[in-house]
Amino acid sequence: MPDLGFDFEDVTVERDGVRALDGFTAAVPATGVTAVFGPSGAGKSTLLRLCNRLEVPASGRVLFRGRDIAGLDPLQLRRQVGMCFQRPTPFPGSVAANLHAADPGATAVEMTAVLEQVALTGSWLARDATALSGGEAQRVCLARTLITSPETLLLDEPTSAVDAEAAHLIEQAVIELATAGMTVLWVSHDAAQVQRIADRVLRIDHGRCIAVDGRPSR
Amino acid sequence: MTGPVSWLGLVTSLALVAVAVVVSLWQHLGLGRQIAWAAMRALVQLLLVGVALGLLLTPGRSLWWSWAWIAGMVIYAGDVARRRAPEVPRMASLAIASFAAAAVITLGVTFGLRVLPLNSRTLVPIAGMMVGNSMTATVLAARRLVDELRDKRDEVEARLALGQPSRLAATPYVRAALRSALSPQIETTKATGLVFLPGAMTGLIIAGVSPVHAVLVQAVVMFLILGATATTTVVVALGLVARVFTPDHRLRPLPLGGGKRG
């Protein structure tokens, strides 16, 4: 059995009296891209938010590399497990200021390197992050997450609010990261995208894991 | 009555309330009843306070009665703040803590450093002005901060997801709330004397105090209000941050606003 990234043990999450996850049980290997696939309202985003403790379960356990995340320091966990959201969330200020918000000690060389990972260049550092297009802003947000050098990347439909070209660039960047050894959980409801990016698919519906399908390779 | 305004003068001044009511009727604002009620309520409250202050300021009365009065005022102000900002979690206790902190600092400086002599005649009015004038800014800071954190939840959670502690993640929104709450007081302070004459100074001049002495008192009051407003807003904002985030750095759900502004 491969190393486990995340292990969900009978996890239940309730919000406003509704069960977003209902006895969810599944294991996610610590390699490659795992797509979390399912219809709207299935509990995909909630599952992702559990992984870096933006949300906590009402019952059950979430293990990260074999350790219950309830017992881990949430700030340290979040630097190990980076997250990129559905809508771009650039902070006011320059692209460099955004990267410094994640890593105050980052040098210009490090910032340029991380921008290049998302198909941008160092010339973007001085640009106003709030004046970028949706696709550009999302790539800056991905770079902002990557500059903390996370081991695992959580992506909550990161291409749903961007144009096709930006979506392609984000997919390529993430596939390269996964090939280089990063564990990726990618929430998507786009079956074609899942086919393109995923090593395996974790199918979720009504707050429950209904299947984990492996694929030979991308 | 031996002051500059007689009972007849007071009754005559009600004509000015009538002006406000007439404007409401003329423009079909539907506020006539409210204006009349507000004026009458304020008059009755002021008369009751006047009677109570008369008892409080009786020569020989212990200063502890004045401190008790101030404590009551702070608690009542907390309740008023809660009603003005119903969407702010546990606003009453936050506001009480902020007014108490402001009282310790501003009254400590004013009386501890002997800017004014400590007696009932100075203590109660000064504390009253401190609480009353910092109320609006306190409520504004709390409401603005809750609005910011709720409306920019995605951005706040993006900061948390980067591993920022909740206090750091909230900093930009705390700054925005404090700036918006303090700006009106700063503008008022800048305009004092040029655009308007403040109440304390006007009252002293009407009561026969020389304008220079009235100005000195007003300047002290103005600085006290500025210091109090800065203190109450920062205490309420930081206290709120401690309450809207969990100890493990998650942002709690925040309700939508709906109360009276201000």
CA A217/CA B218 separation, integer angstroms: 78
Tell me if A79 sits within 8 A of A64, measured CB to CB.
no
Residue range of the domain that includes B32: 1-56
The verdict on B224 and B105 lying in the same domain is yes
Of A76, A92, A144, the CB nearest to B162: A144
Position B261 in a domain: no
pLDDT band at B150 (very low <50, low <70, confident <90, very high): very high
Same domain, B99 and B161: yes
- Predicted pLDDT of residue B261: 41
- Residues of the domain holding A33: 4-214
- What is the sign, positive or negative, of the torsion defined by CA atoms of B226, B229, B232, B233? negative
> What pLDDT, on the 0 to 100 scale, is given for residue A208?
92
Look at residue A218 in the predicted model and tell me its pLDDT: 46
Query: Does residue B93 sit within a domain?
Result: yes
Q: Which residue of B has its CA nearest to A77?
A: B163
Label residue B234 by pLDDT band (50, 70, 90).
very high
Q: What residue in B sits closest to A52 (Cα-Cα)? A: B161
Q: Cα–Cα distance between B164 and B145 in angstroms, integer?
A: 18
Q: What is the pLDDT of residues B102-111, one digit of tens each?
A: 999 999 999 9
For all residues of chain B together, what is the average pLDDT? 91
Tally the domains of chain A.
Answer: 1
Could you report the per-residue pLDDT of B60-81, keeping only the tens digit for each?
Answer: 889 999 999 999 999 999 999 9
Question: Residue B19: is its pLDDT beyond 80?
Answer: yes
Residue A124: strand pairing partners: none
Residues B24 and B103 in one domain: no
Averaged pLDDT for residues B235-248? 96
Whether residue B138 lies inside any domain: the answer is yes
Residues of B in contact with A14 (CB under 8 A): none
Residue with tokens 């901060």: B145
Q: What percent of chain B has pLDDT over 70?
A: 97
**pLDDT of B139 above 50:** yes
Q: Which of A55, A79, A85 is closest, CB to CB, to B158?
A: A85
Which residues of B fall within a CB distance of 8 Å from A56?
A: 248, 250
In a shared domain, residues B24 and B131: no
How far is the C-alpha of A35 from the C-alpha of A199, rounded, in Å? 8
**Are B38 and B72 found together in one domain?**
no
- pTM beyond 0.95: the answer is no
Give yes or no: residues B48 and B99 share one domain.
Answer: no
Based on the domain organization, do B151 and B233 belong to the same domain?
yes
- A85 CB neighbours in chain B (<8 A) are 154, 157-158, 161
Give the minimum alpha-carbon distance from A216 to chain B in angstroms, rounded to a whole number. 32
Q: What is the mean pLDDT of each run of 10 residues along chain A (218 residues)?
A: 82 91 93 92 93 95 95 96 94 97 96 94 95 93 96 93 87 93 92 92 92 63
The DSSP string of A176-208 is HHHHTT-EEEEEE--HHHHHHH-SEEEEEETTE
Name the more confident of B4 and A179.
Answer: A179
- CA A23 to chain centroid, in Å, comes to 22
pLDDT digits (tens, 9 = 90+) for B193-230: 777 778 788 888 888 889 899 889 889 989 999 999 99
Give SS3 for B230.
helix
On whether both B36 and B91 belong to a single domain, the answer is: no
The pLDDT value given to residue B2: 65
What's the confidence (pLDDT) of residue B58?
86
Q: How many domains does chain B have?
A: 2
* Mean pLDDT of the region B147-160: 96
Same-domain status, B51 and B65: no
CATH number at residue A197: 3.40.50.300
> With an 8 Å Cβ cutoff, are A89 and B172 in contact?
no
Residues B165 and B71 in one domain: yes
